[in-house]
Amino acid sequence: MDFNTLLLRLGIDSTCFKNLLNEPIKTETGFIYEVEQRTDIRICPYCGKHNVIINDYDTVEINCSETNQITDTLRIKKVRFKCKDCDTTFTPIINGIEPYTKISSQTRKMIVNDFTSKFTFSEIANRYGITTARVLQIFDEEIIFVPRREMPRVLCIDEIKFAEEYNQKYCCVLYDFDKKEIVDIIRNRQLPYLDEYFSNISEKERSNVKYFISDMYDGYRTIQKRYFSQAVHIVDLFHVITQLTNAVNRIRTSAMKNCEDGSLEYNFMKAHWSLFLCRTENVPDKYYTSRKTGYSFHFDELINRCLKTSPDLLEAHNVLQDLFHYHQKYTYKKALAFIDYMSNRLLSSPNDILKSVGRTYRKWREEIARAFSFTTHGLRYTNAIAESINNHLKTIIKSAYGYHNFARFRKSSMLIVTYKKI
């Protein structure tokens, strides 16, 4: 490979160097290429005079990696000139290498391209042999602004835990149900932040939203009525079921504590708590052996024995099974009647935990009924895409050991989840 081809391959202007190609030095991960900067171009960049002499030399190494697997280094013998007219010293600029950096422009582009990958900033730093602080600096310099997407036809809205700081614990994430991507991330899910954000979006764009899917947070209902009044508001079924399963689990814990410590029922409820929160047909066909007696009991038998220890637990379990087995192809009218039946049943319970769930169901009866019924086109909308992407975002936060800069987190998440498709 000749001199010009080498430097062109590394993304560096060959006219800045003497045409001398030394044998490359082999390393464990790549090669070191030694070059010398030209000394015949002597023009002072400050005064424009030619009365320039060589002041000294310096050797620097520039990361010029072409791939993520091979590390190539350009070892440059740089010259420093001194102008005898204005008494200043300078080093000529090398095209393809930014001043005061130790990476080539080409390597910098590869680093920027990796920002759309799932690599953490520290992993990117290790790939190119630079510090994490330098990667963050490049990210902030190159990724100045990441635009949001337009309001979609089906808007899903959810929150994710971001940090423990005051007014920054939960941020709000907007999703496009159809495209399965992030529309934008809002700094906080509190109503003042949401108000400020959506008030800056034109009414024409907001009118594109036909379906608005959320959990049962009052702030989201306010935003829907205020800015998306023409959209159909749907509460995601996951949150509807979670409300009841959490209640059943709390009642199970209370019933377990009322049992004799170390009894068969106590041990079974503690070890197999999840069986009280699933469909009865999903209970595995297994046996549980008592530690004290050595007798074996079928899971179904033990579940029934545990339910009989507490009337509240039995009622809560039965209500949960009714919710699980509701036929979700029913019409909105039938779904609404079912939710009214469920809320009345829960409100009539003597247990305060179940009453609380009943009040929630009654308050959100219309939005929940829409979740249980299909649209006129035979579709059913859920927040499943939001939950899926939320898991991805949690991985991003966890792998980065927590983000403390919201703007950086937002830009990084948008690049990885949404703009990587472009």
pLDDT of the residue at 399: 58
Beta-strand relationship, 31-36 and 296-298: unpaired
User: Do 211 and 274 fall within a single domain?
Assistant: no
**Using 50, 70 and 90 to split pLDDT, how confident is the model at 192?**
very high
Residue 344 lies in a domain: yes
Residue 137 lies in a domain: no
Average pLDDT across the chain, whole number = 86
What percentage of the chain carries pLDDT values higher than 70?
88
> CATH no. for residue 228?
3.30.420.10
**Using 50, 70 and 90 to split pLDDT, how confident is the model at 375?**
low
How far apart (Å, rounded) are the C-alpha atoms in residues 205 and 117?
30
Q: Which two tokens stand for residue 301?
A: 């038998």
User: Do 271 and 333 fall within a single domain?
Assistant: yes
Q: DSSP characters for 70-122?
A: ---EEEEEEEEEEETTT--EE----TTB-TT-SBBHHHHHHHHHHTTSS--HH
User: Do 182 and 295 fall within a single domain?
Assistant: no
Sheet containing 181-186: give its strands across: 181-186, 170-176, 154-161, 211-214, 232-235
User: Do 309 and 386 fall within a single domain?
Assistant: no
Q: Is the pLDDT of residue 4 over 80?
A: no
CA geometry: angle 193, 196, 197, nearest 5 deg: 85
Which is more confident, 78 or 96?
A: 78
pLDDT of the residue at 348: 95
Mean pLDDT of 187-213: 94
**Using 50, 70 and 90 to split pLDDT, how confident is the model at 378?**
low
User: Do 245 and 326 fall within a single domain?
Assistant: yes
pLDDT of the residue at 422: 47
What's the pLDDT tens digit per position in 144-162? 999 999 999 999 998 888 7
What's the pLDDT tens digit per position in 43-55? 898 898 989 999 9
User: Do 87 and 34 fall within a single domain?
Assistant: yes
Strand partners, 214: 235
Prediction pTM value: 0.76
Residue 128 lies in a domain: no
Residue 112 lies in a domain: no
> How many domains does the chain contain in total?
3
Q: Is the pLDDT of residue 421 over 60?
A: no
**Using 50, 70 and 90 to split pLDDT, how confident is the model at 125?**
confident
Q: Is the pLDDT of residue 94 over 90?
A: no
User: Do 73 and 21 fall within a single domain?
Assistant: yes
What's the pLDDT tens digit per position in 323-353? 988 866 568 888 899 999 999 999 999 999 9
Residue 174 lies in a domain: yes
pLDDT of the residue at 169: 79
Range of the domain at 350: 238-372
Q: Which two tokens stand for residue 204?
A: 């024409």
